[in-house]
Amino acid sequence: MKGIYSALLVSFDKEGNINEKGLRQIVRHNIDVNKVDGLYVGGSTGENFMLSTDEKKRIFEVVKDEVKDQIKLIAQVGSVNLKEAVELAKFATDLGYDALSAVTPFYYKFDFKEIKHYYETIINSVDNKMIIYSIPFLTGVNMNLDQFAELFENDKIIGVKFTAADFYLLERMRKRFPEKLIYAGFDEMMLSATVLGVDGAIGSTFNVNGIRARQIFELAQEGKIAEALEIQHVTNDLITDILENGLYQTIKAILEEQGIDAGFCRQPMKESTPEMRANAKAMYEKYFQNQDSMLNV
C-alpha cells in the first residue's frame, strides 16, 4: 500500500450531476499518464462532503469498474453520520477496495473517546483495513501522539493520511509507529515529509502533477535532496498558482486542456470564470505542455 496516490477528482456536469464518462477519463489519466500507485476515492478532492450516499456509492462503483485491479484503491468513507460511514465501509469492502479511510468526525467538538468509538465502529463492521484521515485545518480536530497510539492499538488501523504542517508531530509518529503507514497529505511539503520517512503521499495535485510528485518522492528516498528540491520548487510554483486561482476548479481546468472532461465543481463551490480558465490554460502551457522534455521522462 506504499507509494503515490492521487486524491481523485470527480467530474460533475453543469447541473452538479456525476459525469461518469469524465470520471473514468480522470481515472485513466491517473493510471496512464500520472502513473500513480493508487487512488484515494471520496476525499476532500472528490468533493465528497457535498454528496449524497447514493452518489458516493456510485463513484466507488465506477472507479472500481474502471481500475479493476490495475492499481490500489482506498475508499474514504468517513462522515459525521456514522451510520452512513458504516454503510459505505461495507459497500466499498464488498467492491474490493484495498483499504478504507475515514476523516476524523468534524463539526461537533467530539472528544477523543467519541472519536475512538467512531473508528472502532467503522472498522469492526467490515473485514478491511483503516487509514485515519487527519486534516486539522479543515476539521479542527487535532489528535496528539498518545491518541494516535491508542487508535493504532487496533491492528486493523494500519496508518494515517497526515495532512498537517506539524512536522515535529510527524517525526514523533514515524519514530513511535515504524510499522504503520504514514502518507503525506500536503503536496507542497512532500520533500520534507519524505525526508522524515513517510511511506507515501496522497494528494490532489497528483491528478495533474503525478510525475513530478513521484520524482520528488523517489529522489528524496535515494538521498538526492538537491535534485528533489529542484522539482519541489517547480511543483510549488505550480501549486501556488493553483491555490491562488481556485484549487479544484484549476486542476479540473488543467485536465480539460489535456483533453479530459473533468467538468465542473459541485455547488456551493463556484464555477470557473473565463479568467480562471485562461489562467489554468497558461499553467498547462507552462508546466505540462513540454513536461516530457523538461523532465527527461
Q: Which three cell numbers stand for residue 211?
A: 510525475
Per CB under 6 A, does 217 bind ligand CC(=O)C(=O)O? no
Tell me how far apart the alpha carbons of residues 291 and 289 are, in angstroms, rounded to a whole number: 6
- Contact range with ligand CC(=O)C(=O)O by CB under 6 A, out of 26-34, 40-48, 92-100, 123-131: 40-48
- Contact range with ligand CC(=O)C(=O)O by CB under 6 A, out of 43-51, 151-159, 253-261, 285-293: 43-51
Tell me how far apart the alpha carbons of residues 205 and 252 are, in angstroms, rounded to a whole number: 10
Tell me how far apart the alpha carbons of residues 11 and 48 are, in angstroms, rounded to a whole number: 12
Residue nearest to ligand CC(=O)C(=O)O (CB): 43
Helices (H), 96-245: 112-123, 136-139, 145-152, 167-176, 190-195, 206-221, 225-245
Q: How many residues of this chain bind ligand CC(=O)C(=O)O (CB under 6 A)?
A: 11
Q: Is there a catalytic annotation at residue 224?
A: no
Q: Cβ distance 19 to 11 under 8 Å?
A: yes
Closest CA to 194 of 171, 212, 160: 171
38 known ligand binder: no
Q: How many residues does the chain have?
A: 297
Q: Cβ distance 188 to 239 under 8 Å?
A: yes
φ/ψ bin of 255: left (φ > 0), alpha (ψ from -120 to 50), beta (otherwise): alpha
Q: Cβ distance 105 to 115 under 8 Å?
A: yes
- Contact range with ligand CC(=O)C(=O)O by CB under 6 A, out of 42-50, 145-153, 219-227, 230-238: 42-50
Q: Considering only residues 202, 220, 231, 280, which one is a binding residue for ligand CC(=O)C(=O)O as defined by CB under 6 A?
A: 202
Instruction: Tell me how far, at minimum, the Cβ of 3 lies from ligand MN9, in Å.
Output: 15
Q: Is there a catalytic annotation at residue 161?
A: yes
Instruction: Select 126 or 213, whichever has its Cβ closest to ligand MN9.
Output: 213
What is the binding site for ligand CC(=O)C(=O)O (CB under 6 A)? 7, 40, 43-46, 163, 185, 202-204
Question: Which residue ranges make up the annotated binding site for pyruvate?
Answer: 45, 202
What is the binding site for ligand MN9 (CB under 6 A)? 7, 44-45, 135, 163, 185-188, 203-205, 239, 247
Question: Which residue ranges make up the annotated binding site?
Answer: 44-45, 163, 185, 187-188, 202, 204
